[in-house]
Chains A and B, each alone.
Chain A
Amino acid sequence: MAKRRSRGRKKTRRKQARRRPGSSWWLRLLLLLVVVLAAYVVYLDYQVRHQFDGKRWSLPARVYARPLELYAGKPLTAEQFVTELKSLHYRPVVAPRTAGQFSRNVNRFQLISRAFDFWDGREPPVNVRLQFSAGRLTALTDAASGSAISLLRLDPVLVGSFYPAHIEDRVLLKLDEVPVSLTDALIVIEDRDFYSHHGVSPSGVARALLANIRAGGVVQGGSTLTQQLVKNFFLSSERSLVRKFNEAIMSLLLEWHYDKDDILEAYLNEVYLGQDGNRAIHGFGLASHFYFERPLAELSVDQYALLVGMVKGPSYYNPRRHPQRALARRNLVLEVMADLQLISADEAARAKARPLGMSARQRVAINTFPAFLELVRRQLQRDYRDEDITSDGLSIFTTLDPQVQWQLEGVLGTRLAQLERDRGMQANTLEGAAVVTSVPGGEVLALAGGRDPDFAGFNRALDARRQVGSLLKPAVYLTALEQAGHYTLATLLDDSPLTFTARNGAVWEPDNYDKVSHGEVPLYQALAHSYNISTARLGLDLGIDTIIDTLRRLGVEQSLKPYPSLVLGAVEMSPLQVAHMYQTFASGGFRTPVRAITAVLAADKTPLQRYPLTVQSAIKPTADFLVNTAMRLAAREGTGRGMYQLLPDSLDVAGKTGTTDNLRDSWFAGFTDERLGVVWIGRDDNKSSGLTGASGALRVWSDLFARFNHGDQVPPVIEGIEFQQIDPGSGLLADSGCPDAVQLPFITGSAPQSYAACARGKRGLPDPVDWFKELFQ
């Protein structure tokens, strides 16, 4: 822009010089030059103020995982706690002295947490002691006073950022967040007259010149910090006299309008300090994270000195690539600091003796969990434009639980490889996807879009629409159980062969997976064993439209064709959509939208938007309890029973397998009262995976749920439910005379009235239980 202007100016001058020759032409020319120059300065002034007052930088949105809540009684192992601390880059030390440090003695920890601005306020740093025992955090106390702390929220793990096309990254800092010793060192090294000059420093230039002559090459630049800032902030990197001129004028203007602290703060955030692949590292805030994996405030003096030294040439002094050069440069900075008594000689000597102390990691993966981040981005896009997401410096607080995510990534990859080996399949034939949510809040805790967790491409959890098969059956059974006058868990269903001819003449003959029809079966068994024929008959009796209505209440939104095959799962859904549907079953009949985001903060940490917990009553809790009971039986003794080889017997799980024609898709959806998991396994080319729901997806699900810390199991208590002993053969009341009796719940008043043939009561023999009762009457 500036360049084009100056060219235009020259042309004008030539024209005018030709038109008006004369003795005073040079005077006029001078006058004109002054006017043009003044106009140009005004133009530069506008540029300086416009850009400096406005939004100075495009800041990517930062995406955070859920914060780890610590409180006595929390199910959390010491190892999981350490994993979390490591991913937050807390440093193990002998005795923690500053925020971000912790010490460990087997199951006892001491930790100083970091302050953090959450959407609902600032969490101050706390010095605490923690104790773990038997998979729980058992004590949380203030390290100084020893008094119990009821609750502590750690800073959340940063899981990724949303960048614009050109990736320029920084962590913005306010001047008062930057340690004084760093700014002192920076000024001493780069611009000693910073606080006295007006933007350009002749004495600085002279000193640099002298130093360069002495050294026989360029060892010092004469640019002030202001000039360096102007160069980086407003101008291109070309070296020309015009640019040098612009730089000087703009520096003077910047100093004229703004005070030193503003300029210094901008400099600290703007300065280029390295490159991470295609991401440019700007400012000391991000450089601290990039080189040392911790906030700037937690660095030691030798680490400040290294960063200050790198300003001169971030690539030349790159400590990862050129450690010797970087070390020499750092030590030079430390010597200068000692010379000018910013630090004592002792301190300098100690600091010089330290190694460079960078994190070992060569390249920071920009986005740790790309599949989950894709879900976050899509949910954000409902409310924000793309440019807001990538440039406004939003803080996005998500529901991701990194512990669950790591566990999911681990088991999915391992189990798929195992299945391939067991079945003699070529490696990497199978693909998988999974979603884990929290039951009470519908919060997405983890998401796998494929078996390679680092792959940011096709996201099967969101975008693979596959037939769900028997996963749909609970909706059919729920529709029945809502009609308590007609159906109960004990109602006998007809599982004999069925031939259904539609009005258009199409014939439908559903078959059971085992190719056997089972005669009359109680309703709960038909679901637990996933019988197709009895389900098809039930679905036809209920009416496809009634079932579609149920699916809508369960939150299924896509178009559904009212064909009879719908009841056996001829519907294509993504794992996330399945999770949404099962969420309602899991949370007592209340539909809770599946959420990945809890809140968004603006760059200045003011709350922009909350994504609150909402519930919508969708099914009667009683009917929900009944269908969940059948799904619990599916897990205990039906198609899902394999899970208890890995899970504790005490854990209550309700779940359903899904298998589609020719074993294309293997599904399992299951939940405890805390978490819901949906797993899909299949092949991208839609060929047979060779797996049923039980032999594939259920295995992954069980591996995963076996790794979780399950809280206390509290049996759900529902109003309007009564329990009765039932003889499954007849679906009638049973007593101790019936060897196969099962206890089933009924919506109050809907239980069968008559006794089965096996019941003693019916034959007039007193029931032992009744004797017992009589004692108390």
Chain B
Amino acid sequence: MKCLPVICTAVLSVLFALQGCSTTSSPSRASTVIEQGESLPGQPANHPGQPASARTDVAYATPATVTHQPAAVVALLKQAEGQANAGELDAAAASLERAIRIDPRNPLLWYHLATIRLSQENPAQAEQLASKSNSLAPGNYVQQSRGWLLIAAARRQQNNVAGAASAEQRARELAAH
């Protein structure tokens, strides 16, 4: 899922624009939520649902996307990213928990913890963590859409087909906002 820098830049700018559309007041610490190498919210996303082995790369954060975050949180996100890519999922989760202790209202951290749990085949917890992430991202439709896609994948892993479909529907609606 590695993408060329040009494509990444394009994806980033589209998503920034999308985020700009949101009119609801957003919290002062709302995070930019764009990741390198991810599909656009609303498009059929197979990323969150796939087991870790099927993924070639996980990119959590780049300085460009999270420069306004505390440096400690950025460092931990990068560390978690490296650990996840090395298949050290427990360690990646531990790094994200450290980051959550520092910045507990950052929806991005909870979201990535959810993706780790999904990769660890714990879809029930992945779904809960994703909805926690969404509850911390009011007005941030891009992030919420991603959260719903992850919830959809988690529900699918639990054979909840109808629930997955309705979650995908939510994701599409939010992405279209």
Contacts and interface: CB of A to CB of B under 8 A. Distances in A.
B53 interface: no
A496 B65 CA distance: 58
Given A150-B72, A590-B128, A621-B135, A439 B102 contact: no
Interface string B122-133: 000100110110
A439 B104 contact: yes
A754 interface: no
26 contacts: A71-B70, A72-B71, A73-B70, A73-B72, A74-B72, A120-B90, A120-B95, A121-B91, A150-B75, A151-B72, A438-B101, A439-B104, A440-B100, A440-B104, A441-B104, A588-B135, A588-B136, A590-B135, A610-B93, A613-B97, A616-B128, A674-B104, A717-B138, A717-B139, A718-B135, A719-B139
Interface in A587-615: 588-590, 598-599, 607, 610, 612-615
A614 B125 contact: yes
B25 to A, nearest CB: 7
A335 B72 CA distance: 51
A344 interface: no
A714 B104 contact: no
A606 to B, nearest CB: 12
A119 interface: yes
Contacts of B101: 69, 438, 440-441
A615 B70 contact: no
A151 B75 contact: yes
Contacts of A612: 93, 97
B24 interface: yes
A43 B9 CA distance: 75
A566 B147 CA distance: 39
Interface in B34-60: none
Interface of A: 69, 71-74, 119-121, 148, 150-151, 438-441, 588-590, 598-599, 607, 610, 612-617, 621, 673-674, 714, 716-719
Contacts of B172: none
Interface residues of B, number: 34
A74 B71 CA distance: 11
Contact of A441 (B100, B125, B129): B100
Contacts of B153: none
Nearest to B30: A717
B71 A719 contact: no
Interface of B: 24-29, 70-72, 74-76, 90-91, 93-95, 97-98, 100-102, 104-105, 113, 125, 128-129, 131-132, 135-136, 138-139
A150 B28 CA distance: 22
A674 B75 CA distance: 22
A439 B104 CA distance: 9
Given A72-B72, A150-B71, A717-B27, 20 more contacts: A73-B72, A74-B102, A120-B90, A120-B95, A121-B91, A148-B71, A150-B72, A150-B74, A440-B104, A441-B100, A588-B135, A590-B128, A610-B90, A613-B100, A614-B128, A621-B135, A673-B104, A674-B104, A714-B105, A716-B27
Given A71-B71, A71-B102, A590-B128, A613 B76 contact: no
A69 B25 CA distance: 32
Contacts of A74: 72, 102
A71 B97 contact: no
Contacts of B98: 69
Q: 5 closest pairs, A vs B, by CB?
A: A440-B104, A71-B72, A150-B75, A120-B94, A150-B71
Nearest to B75: A150
B91 to A, nearest CB: 5
Contact of A119 (B94, B104, B128): B94
B72 to A, nearest CB: 3
Contacts of B28: 714
A441 B102 contact: no
B94 A714 contact: no
Nearest to B127: A617
Interface centre among A72, A441, A607, A719 (most CB of B within 10 A): A719
Contacts of B113: 613
A441 B97 contact: yes
Contacts of A673: 104-105
